[in-house]
Structure 1
Amino acid sequence: MHRLIEKGLMFGNLVRVDSSVLVERYNRALTHLTGKKTGLDVFHIDISGYSPEIGDELDDPLYLNHHGVNRQFILLSTDQMHAPLLNAKFSTSRGILRQFIEENRSELFALTAFDVVAGELVNSVYLADTPARLFDIRQIKVEADTTNETIATAAKLGTLIDRFKTEPDAWHDDVLIAQMIGMAKRTGDVMRNPVNVRQMSFLQENYWTDHFGGMYIFRGVAHPAAIVARDKAEIGTLPIDHVFDFRDRTAIAKFLEMNDLVESIVDARGVDATAILQQKMDFIVMSVAATMDEDLTGARRHDLRRLGRQYAQLLPAEWQGLAELVRWAENHGPWPKITSEHPCYFYTLRAKNHADADLVNMLLAELTPLDIRQLFICHKEVFYRAYATWPDEKKTYVADFLEREYQVDKAGTRAALFGHEAGMEEMPVPRQPDLITRVGPWGAVRPRGR
């Protein structure tokens, strides 16, 4: 993985922790959450405060994510908002953390100026020991406070201040006054500078999870289904209408179509469909050439075309189908009949503009593993695992290509490929509305006839 790290394609944008004050605060929070400490003086952290160096030190890549279910976090700075989330077990976790930091930025900035904020993404499941248990996860709550419980203390102080203002004999209550003075020493003036981090909760309807080999759960669509990377027979019975695995290509295609989740790249507006399809073909040629021990250092499109001609008989059905589609798009051939069973089918799709576009593009990336660019952009967890198995020739080409063609203009590349989406590294998560928002000030109004 050293190529990826050197080029900023792995562990990029992590926050460096190198001051004794911040290390001490981190250890205070780490002990508070896990009972552990680090002996490192310098390390890097992601948006959740997880450090790959500390993970190696503790021999525990899940030291802030016990059983991979309830993610804990340590915030030393609001700058962590721009960092990635490593070892993600749920596709929604980074989006939740980012939204929490964004909506409480000024409060968290003030708190982290003199302390560290620690917390957890809490749900009702503590151990996902069976695939069916994952369906018990419906809502994620963010719980956070400083290690000195500044937020909780400020809330208590606010209650005492209200008592002091409203109770007629409060001026003579020495115990009440002493309590307020003691709390104010810890929180500061909460009247002028309120310490009020908003309580937030998020619906967990449609998401990907890394558990059990990888599962895509779609509950918030018209036709719900779960799509699993492993053999569905190994997963067992799930509490959802339909379960597909990656071999159920026609069923997955029908699911995506019935829920209006995808569109053909050729029909999409604002994209150069031919250029996108040709690039996918280049990636397939590169994969074939790598298996033949070809030196791909510095290889460009004309080199890949030469290699494509050289290994034409080895090019798989994915390449052949895309080539037919390109010929049609350039008005040089008939309309190709590409059904969902054709190996190139999912290579011709992208997500439509909807709330779950990132999740759908993540699924499509895993269904089209030869498109190394989409796999890297949309599904880094699967990309890194695949990368570790590739021959050196392919690793070199992919690392060089991503540095040259993607790193220099991430937003431009994503816009060219996906058009409408804001950025594949975000995963916006629907907020759980408060009670009044959900049912109105007069209570729930039921439709007639129910």
Structure 2
Amino acid sequence: MKRLISRGLMFGNLIPVMSPILVERYNRALKRLTGKQTELSDFHIDISGYSPEIGDELGDDLYLNHAGVNRQFILLTTEQKTAPLLNAKFSTSRGILRQFIETNEAQLFALTARDGVAGELVNSVYALETPKRLFDVRHVDIEADTTDGAVASAKKLGGMIDRFMREDDAWCDDVLIGNMIGLAKDTGDITRNPLKLNTMTFDQDNFWTAHFGGIYVFRALEAPAAIVMNGNDDLGELPIETVVQGDERSAIAQFLKVNDLAEPIVEARGIDSAAILRQKMDFMVADVAAGLGEDLSGATRRDLRNLGRRYHDKLPAAWQGLADLVRWAEDGGPWPRIDSEHPAYFYTLRAKDHADADLVNMLLAELSPMDVRQLFICHKEAFYRAYMGWPDEKKAYVADFLSTEYQVDKAGTRDALFGHEAAMDEPAPKKDDLIDRVGPWGAVRRR
């Protein structure tokens, strides 16, 4: 993994915590949440405040995510909104945290200027003893406050102010006035600078979870289903209409089709579909060549084409299917028959433009693992797991490719692969006809 870390492909874009003041604030928040503290003088944190260095120090990568269910978080700066979420157990967690930070950015900026903010993504499930319990996770609420309780104090002070303004004899209530003054010393003038975080609740309808080997849950669809990726069919009875195993290709394809979730790359608007398919083919060639001991250092596309010719008889059926599809797209060759049981099928798809596009692309990435770029972009947990089993030649090639061709323009690459053009507006009808201009009853005069 050192190769990935050195190129910023793992633990990249984390927020450094180096000043003694920030370390002290972090420790106060960590003590409040977990009862633990760190002895480190500097470290890095993700969007949730999790630090891989502290995880190593404590011997617990889930020190802010007990049982992998209710994610706790520590905010030292609003800049954390751009950081990744490490050791994610639910696909929705990072999006929830980012939306919380962006919605409350002004308030959090003021709060983190004086203290750390500690909080939790709360749902009614505290442990997942069985897969069935996953379906009890329906909503996620966010609870957060500074380590000294400034938000709670401000809320309490606000109630006192309302009482003072409402009750006629409150001006002579020395206890009430004294309590207001005492709280105001900690909160400041909340009438001018309100210390209030928006109450936020997020629906948890469609999501991926790392629990039980990886399960995709799609509940808010016309045809709901759970897709189990670990090959374990002994999950007990699940409260959902359809349960599909990850190797049931036709059933997954039917699920995607019935719910209109995916589209063929060659039919997508505004992308160079042939170039995308050729790149997927290159990744397959690299996989075969690396497995045969070829040194892929500095390998260009021309080099990979040469290796493809050399090992043509060893290339997988998925490569052959994509080659047929490229010939159809570029040269008008015969339309290839690639059904859901063909190894190339899921390599030819991408998510349509809908609210769950990221989740569908995540599923498709796991179903087409030789496309290492999509796997890295859409499903980092699966990418890192696969990376550990690759030969060193493939590790070197993939790390070089991602650092030189993806890292330099992440947004552009994502848009080229998964972006969707806006639908073209229908041209407005011309109003040349007299009836079109004045209506069927003639011009109406103004009085």
Q: Which residue of 2 aligns with 1:96?
A: 96
**Pairs within 5 Å for 1:377-388:** 377-388=377-388
Within 2, Cα distance between the matches of 1:246 and 1:124? 28
Shift of 1:420: 2.3
Corresponding residue number in structure 1 for 2:182 = 182
Mean Cα deviation higher: 330-339 or 151-160 = 330-339
Contact 2:225 2:241 in 1 (8 A): yes
Distance 1:113 1:52 in 2: 24
* Displacement after TM superposition at 1:421 (Å): 9.2
Whole-angstrom CA distance in 1 between matches of 2:399 and 2:316:
23
| Alpha-carbon distance between aligned partners in 1 of 2:176 and 2:211, rounded to the nearest angstrom | 51
1:371 aligned residue: 371
Q: How does 1:206-225 map to 2 (within 5 A)?
A: 206-225=206-225
Match of 1:203 in 2: 203
Q: Compute the displacement of 1:232 (Å).
A: 4.3
Identity %: 70
Give the partner amino acid of 1:128: L
2:161 alignment counterpart = 161
Q: How does 1:283-302 map to 2 (within 5 A)?
A: 283-302=283-302
Q: Counterpart amino acid of 1:59?
A: G
2:127 counterpart letter in structure 1: L
SS of equivalent residue, structure 2 residue 16: strand
Q: TM-score, normalised by structure 2?
A: 0.93
Residue equivalent to 1:71 = 71
Task: Give the C-alpha shift of residue 236 in structure 1.
Answer: 2.5
* Partner in structure 2 of residue 335 of structure 1: 335
User: In structure 2, what residue type is equivalent to 1:363?
Assistant: L
2:226 aligns to what SS in structure 1? strand
Runs ≥4 in structure 1, deviation > 2 angstroms?
none
Residue 186 of structure 1 and its aligned partner are, at CA, apart by 1.1
Shift of 1:171: 1.0
Distance 2:185 2:167 in 1: 23
Residues 295-343 of structure 1: CA deviation (Å, up to 9, x unaligned) = 0000011111111111111111110111111111122521111110001
Partners of 1:411 and 1:95 lie apart in 2 by 17
Which residue does 2:433 correspond to in 1?
A: none
User: Structure 2: which 5+ residue stretches go unaligned?
Assistant: 423-447
SS of 1:235's equivalent in the other structure is: coil
Work out the CA distance in 2 between the residues paired with 1:421 and 1:311.
38
Query: Which of 1 and 2 has greater Rg?
Result: 2
Displacement of 1:234 in angstroms is 2.5
Secondary structure of the 1:266 match is helix
User: Counterpart of 1:261?
Assistant: 261
Partner of 2:407, secondary structure, is: helix
> What is the match of residue 441 of structure 2?
none
Q: What one-letter code is carried by the residue in structure 2 that aligns with 1:311? A: Y
Q: Quote the Cα distance in structure 2 between the aligned partners of 1:128 and 1:376.
A: 27
**2:19 aligned partner:** 19
Give the aligned partner of residue 28 of structure 1: 28
1:321 counterpart residue number: 321
Secondary structure at the aligned position of 2:13 is classed as: coil
How far 1:185 moved relative to its partner?
1.0
**1:174-193 C-alpha deviation (Å, 9 max, x unpaired):** 11011101111111111111
Which residue matches 2:430? none
User: What's the counterpart of residue 346 of structure 2?
Assistant: 346
Task: Find the counterpart in structure 2 of residue 435 from structure 1.
Answer: none
Give the drift of 1:15: 0.4
Tell me how far apart the structure 2 counterparts of residues 161 and 272 of structure 1 sit (CA, whole Å): 62
| 2: CA distance, partners of 1:387 / 1:331 | 35
Report the more deviating stretch, 77-86 or 329-338: 329-338
Shift of 1:66: 0.1
1:128 and 2:128 aligned: yes
Structure showing greater relative contact order (alpha-carbon pairs closer than 8 Å, 6 or more residues apart): 1
| Counterparts of 1:134 and 1:5, CA distance in 2 | 33
